Amino acid sequence: PAGTYLTGPFTLCSKLDFHLAEGAIIQAPATFAGHGLPEPTQFRTQAEANVAVKMPPPLISAKNVHDLALTGTGIIDGAGQHWWEWSERAARAVAKSQPGRVVYPRPHLVVIENCQRLLVADITLRNSPKFHLVPKRIDDLTIERVKVRAPFNAPNTDAIDPGPGTRFWIHDCDIDTGDDDIVIKSGGTDILIENNTIRHGHGISIGSETTAGVRNMLVRNCTLEGTDNGIRIKSMRGAGGVVENIRYTNIRMKGVANPIVLQLDYVDNNRPDFKGDPAKVPTIRNIQIDQVTIEGARKSAVIHGIPDSRITNVVLRDVKIGRAHV
């Protein structure tokens, strides 16, 4: 029911509708002490912090379940501000004035792993320390009318990160965050993403890890405004798989810096020295982009393959791009 419920991490079970009525707020602690963790200022080195502090579990999680739902118009709030201030990005920002500043490992907000039939409907997720909603290894996933909110400069605050799995339907969501808004992680097949509104963040993405492969995905009737990227497929040697049979249609973008990005030479700023498994070479093929209108773009499209894996069979049809006035 309505009310604010301050809580530490908890888990959900099968055959459950976790329902948040209007006015209900599931609230994470707003301090490290509230999580039972020491203040990061007490550590002189990252090595000391790594020994003493492990990544906390998600605020809400479930594993090896079936027939699970999170519904209602209530809110799940991750109280991420104190986590963001001790992120990798924050450490880079103060590297000259505070050399050796430590980084705290940040938890996700909601992680559901290995689930048959998952529904997430109508709830608001906000201010996650890191990713907001992570459905991993899901068969039959529906995410509908969900709102996700974090400041545009909050680091790595992905909104919806499903994958791997099969039969995903993500529709009528309203997203405004600081990183990937909807991103297929690792892999997925038979995916429909439609009627979503996105402001800020990194757009609708695939990758960067694509090891499980992404196939048969349709993105349609979506609006993106003020995002860094629009349509984005990113992968890299060492974490690659096959991305194929992907269509984007009836997409509207305004003020998007990089509207179309297909990239196999992606570099993760948080792992610039990543090598991975050299046998995992990424592939992008059979991509159709049609009926796309773009206003105020800084670039048109970036399509980067790698020498031993060219991007092939990309069709752009009825794509209108207008540049930003600078």
Identity (one letter) of the amino acid at 120? V
Tokens of 310: 């060219």
**Cross-strand bridge partners of residue 118:** 68, 141
Identity (one letter) of the amino acid at 325? H
Q: Are 187 and 214 in contact (CB under 8 A)?
A: yes
- Catalytic-residue membership of 179: yes
Instruction: Say how far apart CA 114 and CA 137 lie, in whole Å.
Output: 5
SS3 call for 162: coil
Residues in the chain: 326
Question: Concatenated DSSP letters for 114-131?
Answer: EEEEEEEES-EEE--SS-
Cis? peptide before 208, omega within 30° of 0? yes
Q: Are 103 and 129 in contact (CB under 8 A)?
A: no
Please pick, among 77, 158, 176, 179, the residue that the annotation labels catalytic: 179
- Catalytic-residue membership of 202: yes
Q: What is the largest CA-CA distance in the chain?
A: 57
Phi, psi of 325 (to 5 degrees): -90, 120
Helical spans, DSSP H, in the chain: 46-52, 81-84, 88-93
Q: How far is CA 75 from the centre of its chain?
A: 19
**Which of 203, 167, 165, 207 is closest to 182 using CA atoms?**
203
Residues catalogued as catalytic: 179, 202
